[in-house]
Structure 1
Amino acid sequence: MSLLTVKDLGKTFGGNRAVDGISFNVAAGELLALIGPNGAGKSTTFNMVNGQLKPDSGSIRLNGQELIGRKPREIWKQGVGRTFQIAETFASLTVVENVQMALLSADGKLFSMWRRAADHRRADAMHLLDQVGMAPQADRPCSVLAYGDVKRVELAIALANDPKLLLMDEPTAGMAPKERNELMALTKRLVVERGLAVLFTEHSMDVVFAHADRVIVLARGRLIAEGTPAEIRQHPKVQEVYFGSGSTFEKKSEVAA
């Protein structure tokens, strides 16, 4: 059963049809990758689902509830978490305090000098950090962490409101291959354990093919293909859009090797 249902989504900027009537769905327990060449409409689609952009047409429903017209904060309260291409944490706070700040927000409590993050739901914050493998570094400042560890902290923060849907914008950007695959394997495990639905954009095809359950491909604002990673890998239209008619994902991988 679909958790997120997107139907006939459209967005125009200055006469340019950035997103042209695309439809897709994401089920609980599923990782759906959204890919496409530059200018395909990925970011526009992603930002409409998150409420940062308002569509000109179409529908975005979470568990049957329409999200269009709601602000990002309201969508977050409906059970949608998000991570960003560039990890966003408070560098001066400790790892656990970053998660406690997210829990304060999830509980609708404003942070102030009279309510220190360190006093709020530490046990729950530690449980989230344990889930992402960061509990041993809980009391270290985020400023001293390796980038891959910062991304894990950001994932714990995104889980603080117990989301049903997790949006991940280029989750492995700036990471080494080993770190990329470790982060996505961790995400996959959390998807299964929590019954999450995940929609993510990604440029690294090794990550997409290794970890996505399904893939949708955009080109010039239109959805041109959807299917399993194996199906997308062999799809002739996808091959043409990415590499031209004479190249394949397999050939690119051989050259890279």
Structure 2
Amino acid sequence: MTTAQTRTMLSARGLMKSFGAVTAADNVNIEIPTGQRVSLIGSNGAGKTTFVNMVTGYLKPDAGTIELDCLPIAGLGPRRITGMGVARSFQIPQLALDMSALDNMLVAAACNDGHQSFWRPAHASDRIDRAMAMLSKFNLEEHAHRRVSELPGGVRKLLDIAMALTGSPKLLLLDEPTSGVSVDEKFPMMDTISAALASENITVLFVEHDMEIVTRYSDRVIAFYSGRVIADDLPSKVLEDAQVQRYVTGSLKQGH
């Protein structure tokens, strides 16, 4: 994995977010250097998804600041934040099932470039070459002309991440990349993702419930519980933390 650099890519200070009587973010403070691979862990409702939604503009914090590469982004909409260099893939891939993998890539590239029409500018030969190069990074070139509806779940996940990279983001957020993937496939899939990202100058945050994946592919782990960060350190240290074992990994072992 890429080692951390000194420059800060993402800075969150004093983030607060409540939904009625439920506090989803309680004075969250996180600094993430450029190039770091960070996993966010916590049981359902712990606050990790709320944090990701605030970073990506789907939620506006009640208080606090968020900076991307020293620029304030708290309260901006998803499209604006995407344009500033943040990309996201979802637990359920957001794909056009009746289109080919290549056409999905071309649509994503056209959207990231701000083109209104995908059919003309997005099909220029240089765009196709770039899309095929990205598919190749994820070992997906053999699927380029297959309809997405025919592709296995793991391949769809890789395609969704490849599409997120068409805009050359600074920060990539992955929502449970191995969810729904078989035990035999999860490590090869993460190896593919890691290899593809190794050549990209990109900072990665991923929400993950699989502690084997967290241990093997993270530079750092941030554990959430009840809207608060309860541990933030190297994977081995976080997973040995008493609060993490009580509130996170214990419940995860029971639920998975």
TM-score above 0.5: yes
- Tell me the residue number matched to 1:67: 73
Paired residue secondary structure (1:200): strand
Q: Which of 10, 19, 36 is equivalent to 1:30?
A: 36
Q: Identity rate of aligned residues, in percent? A: 37
User: Is 1:190–1:196's contact at 8 Å kept on the other side of the alignment?
Assistant: no
Paired residue secondary structure (2:167): coil
- Tell me the residue number matched to 1:220: 226
AA in 1 matched with 2:150: V
Distance 2:29 2:122 in 1: 41
Distance 1:136 1:16 in 2: 47
Give 1:46-195 correspondences, 5 Å limit: 46-111=52-117, 115=120, 117-119=122-124, 121-195=127-201
User: Is 1:55–1:68's contact at 8 Å kept on the other side of the alignment?
Assistant: yes
Distance 1:67 1:199 in 2: 17
Q: Provide, for residues 44-87 of structure 1, a one-character-per-residue CA deviation record: whole Å limited to 9, x for no partner.
A: 11111110000011111111001112110010000111100101
User: Is 1:51–1:71's contact at 8 Å kept on the other side of the alignment?
Assistant: yes
Give the superposition deviation at 1:189: 2.5
AA in 1 matched with 2:25: V
Q: Provide, for residues 8-40 of structure 1, a one-character-per-residue CA deviation record: whole Å limited to 9, x for no partner.
A: 111011132111011112222211111111221
- Tell me the residue number matched to 2:14: 8
Distance 1:7 1:191 in 2: 27
Give the superposition deviation at 1:164: 0.6
Runs of 4+ in structure 1 off by over 4 angstroms are 116-120
TM-score when normalising by structure 2:
0.91
RMSD: 2.0
Give the superposition deviation at 1:243: 5.6
Distance 2:73 2:186 in 1: 31
Distance 2:181 2:136 in 1: 21
User: Is 1:26–1:199's contact at 8 Å kept on the other side of the alignment?
Assistant: no
Gaps of 5+ in 2: 1-6
Give the superposition deviation at 1:205: 1.3
TM-score when normalising by structure 1:
0.90
User: Is 2:59–2:75's contact at 8 Å kept on the other side of the alignment?
Assistant: no
